[in-house]
Chain A
Amino acid sequence: MADRLTLTARQHVPPARQAAVLALGILLGLALATVVLTLSGVGPSAIIDEFVLYVFTTQSGLTQALTRAVALWLVGLAAVFALKLRFWNIGVDGQAWIGAIAASWVAIDDIGPPSIRLVLMLVAGAVGGMLWIGVPALLKLRLGVSEVVSTLMLTYVGFQAAQQLLYGPWRDPNTGFPISPVFDDPVERLARIGFGHIHQGIWIALAAALAAVALLQLSRFGFYAAAVGQSPRAARAAGIPVAATILIGVGLSGALAGLAGAVIVAGQEFRLTQHIAGDLTFSAILIALLARLTPLAVLPVGLVIAGIYVSGDALKAFYQLPLAVIQVLEAVILLSVVILDFFARYQLRLARPTVARS
């Protein structure tokens, strides 16, 4: 009789082991990504140069990655809040579009005194994102409409709303291009912090991560959210306000996504353009899942994903590789982590059945 491989569930997986698995998974994913890139015609030494050395050891690479990471951290946290509640927010891009529109509106129409203009822009972005996700949240709570469909569809509405504005009232009068006029400097822009292109948005994102730790891991709300996410019925039977928990958690998810849109227009683009959001949703969910819905883990994971984007830009410019290659790389890394995670949770053993006769 042949030996058999058997799987046994482990009773407890210590956090150190989980962190090690995450790191190993990302490394394995990068190694596999090397194979993909080699097949696409990029030499191995170039990969190491672009990927590892450039992004994580040079100042220009690191600042580019950190700049990219700001928005990714915010949307990653947005996905953490939603997924904790098992609410599939597939509309992070839509909420980011609305956040960007709301912030641009405050800037373009010069709403409020200049001294607090920037704060108003950010608040408007967060509120916009919150309202945009409020529709699917209410539809789900009241009528049981699947949020997967409604959040995704509202993304298109958000994108088209931006198009309507950019081809209409907000078209740049100087050039006639479908981009908005630039925001006033400095009252409508997030200032640089003196390290490459990194802007004050990084403090906002880090503060958001700390606030998420406080809310999800230390406060009563986090306990409610975990209970509602795992079993809405048990949560209700325990006297937990289920609907309020969902509205607050999902609202915060939309607010963070909207804030990401506002930060992109106020910190990077300085105007509403065609390239605010587009592939944020996938990255957000990827980051949240890789971080196992832990707010602090969103920071390193988000930085790695940002690094992949930055090196992807270089690969795109120097090797004419399509953006799809970057998404393949992301997927390869996710798969590697998921596969390794399986082995963290299960014990694989070679069982040798002691059969008396066969």
Chain B
Amino acid sequence: MTAALPRAVSPGDARSAISISGAWKAFDGRPALKGASLEVAYGEVHALLGENGAGKSTLMNLVCGLYAADAGRIEIDGRPFAETGPLAAARHGVGMVHQHFKLIPRFTVAENILVARAGASAPARRADAARRIAEVAQSLGFAIDPHARVGDLSVAERQRVEILRLLLLDARILILDEPTAVLTDAEADAVLGLLRRLAAEGRAVVLITHRMREVQRYADRVTVMRGGETVLAGAPCAECDQGRLADLMVGQAVHAATPRVRSADGSGQRVRLDAVEISVHRPDGTPAVDQVSLTLRAGEIVGIAGVGGNGQDALVEALYGLAPISGGTLSLDGARIEHAPIGARRARGLRIIPADRNDFALIPAFRAYENLALTEVPRGGFGFWLGLRRGRMIAEAEAAMAERAVVGGTPRTPTRLLSGGNAQKLLLARELKTAAGDASVLIAHSPTRGLDVAACQAVHQALFDLAATGGACLLVSEDLDEVMALSDRIGVMSRGRLAGPFPRAEIDRARIGALMLGHG
């Protein structure tokens, strides 16, 4: 599980697992792939890098049978692959973990594995499935209840189930789209270490990722895509440096994020959000959030680190008003809001970016301008009851989308057709739109999950700007690098309890790691 793991055999004498050349794919006339190519051999971990919309997922969906290429040559095991459907791909030994999970929320973990059963060696009975899930989970270094309903699991836990499913299906070619996006460093290392072992056993692993660290530590070769084309084909990772890869991805020199100018001492600033011993209980009566206290001052970004599933979802929903607070008090700018409805909290300037924007932030079927207006319409922002002013919504959306550089659609484009990064920018435009003199208090939960470098920077810059103008941000993130880079103070959640927040200068990675595991 360290960088010193043995590398795979040299690519020259390895058997070809995936071979794609000249792949074209257009959606409604817009090309997503423009002659892309990829060569993956058995025995290697092959990193696939690229910005959002570069065509990585489209390319991989060709291999796993979800899309048919318009043109191009696709070979698996050196033989042409022209079938469609995930089952055909599974027969060829291809398995993929998608970025947007393909699990059935009402089914248990074991039932989801059974549904996905495609090969003869996959477990056929619930009890067998449960046993093997437990075995593989243990070998991955975590525990999961095979009989838990997927809908009750956190995003991080669902991601693990996806990986488990792939392994239980005995795929020989594993494709993982951002598998560690919501995992902590330790969890990510465990999963990536396992992927290395699987490659060493002779499987082929394609790792779609944005994290340079993972590319450098765990991949043998790297392919970079930009604008539907392959701009770097299978270069050995040892010969690449981070700067060059980033340049290739975006096609221009990336400027490092502007270092944040922090106020010398935030303690004198007025308190914006004040939570005192708030608790949230699950339906079964056990606490999901256990007496958490924290204070957010104007100009501050407070980070909450922690392994996913330790109460972060419940905390975020309770602060915003989606879940009832069962104990403690919550104030915003001095006014008590623990029982206030969401509308009243928003009116006082509370804003949110949830971990999954399609869960409760954006409506995929709505047009971009409708989503931008969604929260203002109930406040009468676009006309009284009769005569909703859609013309003004569209005009304002036009301006907001231009300001936040939302591309790939007009205000009338259905939001589901926007790429992840652009949809997130749309959400930022809505949640960070400030009326004069009322900088918001933002709860941001994994706001950069799955975003490319440029979109990530846009999000981070928006958070800095918010803090600089008297706003405040509670950054709940499973990405420790993000928490460390952005926060003035850092707290750690473990089993519903919060340690800290501690000033940034007084805490380091090792301490945070220990607190995440519930020590310290």
Q: Is the CB of B80 within 8 A of A238?
A: no
Q: Does B516 contact A (CB under 8 A)?
A: no
Q: Does B395 contact A (CB under 8 A)?
A: no
How many B residues are at the interface, by size bracket? Answer: 35 or more
Q: Is the CB of A219 within 8 A of B385?
A: yes
Contact residues in A for B27 (Cβ distance below 8 Å): 8-9, 11
In-complex Cβ contact of A239 among B73, B343, B383 (8 A)? B343
Q: Does B342 contact A (CB under 8 A)?
A: yes
User: Which of A8, A231, A238, A357 has the largest count of B CB atoms less than 10 A from its CB?
Assistant: A238
Contact residues in A for B417 (Cβ distance below 8 Å): 11
Within 8 A of B (CB), among A89-133: none
Q: Is the CB of B28 within 8 A of A237?
A: no
Q: Is the CB of A219 within 8 A of B388?
A: yes
Q: Is the CB of B342 within 8 A of A239?
A: yes
Q: Does B399 contact A (CB under 8 A)?
A: no
A231–B370 alpha-carbon span in the complex (Å): 13
Q: Is the CB of B352 within 8 A of A354?
A: no
Contact residues in A for B413 (Cβ distance below 8 Å): 11-12
Q: Is the CB of A355 within 8 A of B28?
A: no
Return A146 CB to nearest CB of chain B, in Å: 15
- The interface bits of chain B over 57-90 (1 if a CB of A lies within 8 angstroms of the residue's CB, else 0) are 0000000000011111100000010100000000
Within 8 A of A (CB), among B173-200: none
Q: Is the CB of A220 within 8 A of B360?
A: no
Given contacts A239-B346, A239-B379, contact A230 B320 (CB under 8 A): no
Q: Does A82 contact B (CB under 8 A)?
A: no
Q: Does A207 contact B (CB under 8 A)?
A: no
Q: Does B322 contact A (CB under 8 A)?
A: yes
User: Which of A10, A214, A239, A355 has the largest count of B CB atoms less than 10 A from its CB?
Assistant: A239
How many A residues are at the interface, by size bracket? Answer: 35 or more
- The interface bits of chain B over 310-343 (1 if a CB of A lies within 8 angstroms of the residue's CB, else 0) are 0000000000101000000000000000000111
- The interface bits of chain B over 2-43 (1 if a CB of A lies within 8 angstroms of the residue's CB, else 0) are 000000000000000000001000111010000000000000
Given contacts A9-B28, A10-B28, A222-B388, contact A237 B360 (CB under 8 A): yes
A227–B415 alpha-carbon span in the complex (Å): 13
- The interface bits of chain A over 322-358 (1 if a CB of B lies within 8 angstroms of the residue's CB, else 0) are 0000000000000000000000000100010111111
Q: Is the CB of A227 within 8 A of B360?
A: no
A11–B412 alpha-carbon span in the complex (Å): 11
Q: Is the CB of B361 within 8 A of A220?
A: no
Return A224 CB to nearest CB of chain B, in Å: 8
Q: Is the CB of A234 within 8 A of B72?
A: no
In-complex Cβ contact of A218 among B72, B352, B375, B387 (8 A)? B387
User: Which of A220, A222, A224, A357 has the largest count of B CB atoms less than 10 A from its CB?
Assistant: A220
Q: Is the CB of A219 within 8 A of B386?
A: yes
Q: Does B107 contact A (CB under 8 A)?
A: no
Q: Does A16 contact B (CB under 8 A)?
A: no
Q: Does B442 contact A (CB under 8 A)?
A: no
Within 8 A of A (CB), among B400-426: 412-414, 417
A233–B352 alpha-carbon span in the complex (Å): 14
Q: Does A42 contact B (CB under 8 A)?
A: no
Q: Is the CB of B352 within 8 A of A226?
A: no
Q: Does B294 contact A (CB under 8 A)?
A: no
Within 8 A of A (CB), among B367-402: 370, 373-375, 377-379, 382-388
A230–B69 alpha-carbon span in the complex (Å): 32
Q: Is the CB of A223 within 8 A of B68?
A: no
CB closest residue in chain B, given A215: B386
Q: Is the CB of B388 within 8 A of A214?
A: no
Given contacts A11-B417, A219-B387, A221-B385, contact A239 B362 (CB under 8 A): no
Q: Is the CB of B82 within 8 A of A353?
A: yes
A3–B270 alpha-carbon span in the complex (Å): 69
Q: Is the CB of A223 within 8 A of B388?
A: yes
Q: Is the CB of B366 within 8 A of A226?
A: yes
Given contacts A220-B377, A220-B383, A237-B360, contact A354 B72 (CB under 8 A): yes
Q: Is the CB of A220 within 8 A of B346?
A: no
Contact residues in B for A238 (Cβ distance below 8 Å): 342, 374-375, 377-378
Q: Does A187 contact B (CB under 8 A)?
A: no
Q: Is the CB of A227 within 8 A of B82?
A: no
Given contacts A237-B342, A354-B72, A357-B80, contact A227 B363 (CB under 8 A): yes
Q: Is the CB of B370 within 8 A of A347?
A: no
In-complex Cβ contact of A355 among B82, B347, B386 (8 A)? B82
Q: Is the CB of A239 within 8 A of B68?
A: no
Contact residues in A for B359 (Cβ distance below 8 Å): 233-234
Contact residues in B for A240 (Cβ distance below 8 Å): 374, 377-378
Contact residues in A for B414 (Cβ distance below 8 Å): 11
A224–B347 alpha-carbon span in the complex (Å): 18
Contact residues in A for B373 (Cβ distance below 8 Å): 223
Q: Does B365 contact A (CB under 8 A)?
A: yes
Contact residues in A for B82 (Cβ distance below 8 Å): 1, 4, 353, 355
Q: Does A236 contact B (CB under 8 A)?
A: yes
A10–B387 alpha-carbon span in the complex (Å): 31
Q: Does A6 contact B (CB under 8 A)?
A: yes
Q: Is the CB of A227 within 8 A of B374?
A: yes
Return A12 CB to nearest CB of chain B, in Å: 8
Return A217 CB to nearest CB of chain B, in Å: 9
A231–B415 alpha-carbon span in the complex (Å): 13
Within 8 A of B (CB), among A275-321: none
In-complex Cβ contact of A233 among B28, B341, B360, B386 (8 A)? B360
CB closest residue in chain A, given B374: A238
Q: Is the CB of A223 within 8 A of B360?
A: no
Contact residues in B for A220 (Cβ distance below 8 Å): 377, 382-386, 388
Within 8 A of B (CB), among A48-90: none
Given contacts A8-B27, A355-B73, A358-B80, contact A234 B374 (CB under 8 A): yes
Task: Please name 15 pairs of A and B residues whose Cβ atoms are closer than 8 Å in the assembled complex, sorted by A.
Answer: A4-B82, A214-B386, A219-B385, A226-B370, A234-B362, A236-B322, A237-B352, A237-B360, A240-B374, A240-B378, A241-B378, A347-B28, A353-B68, A353-B70, A353-B71
Kindly list 8 other residue pairs between chains A and B, CB separation below 8 angstroms, not including A8-B28, A223-B370, A239-B379.
A220-B384, A220-B385, A234-B360, A236-B322, A237-B322, A238-B374, A353-B71, A355-B82
A interface vs B, CB < 8 Å? Answer: 1, 4, 6, 8-12, 214, 218-224, 226-227, 230-231, 233-241, 347, 351, 353-358
| List of 7 A-B pairs having minimum Cβ-Cβ separation, nearest first | A239-B343, A237-B360, A233-B360, A239-B378, A238-B374, A238-B375, A354-B71
B interface vs A, CB < 8 Å? Answer: 22, 26-28, 30, 68-73, 80, 82, 320, 322, 341-343, 346-347, 352, 354, 359-366, 370, 373-375, 377-379, 382-388, 412-414, 417
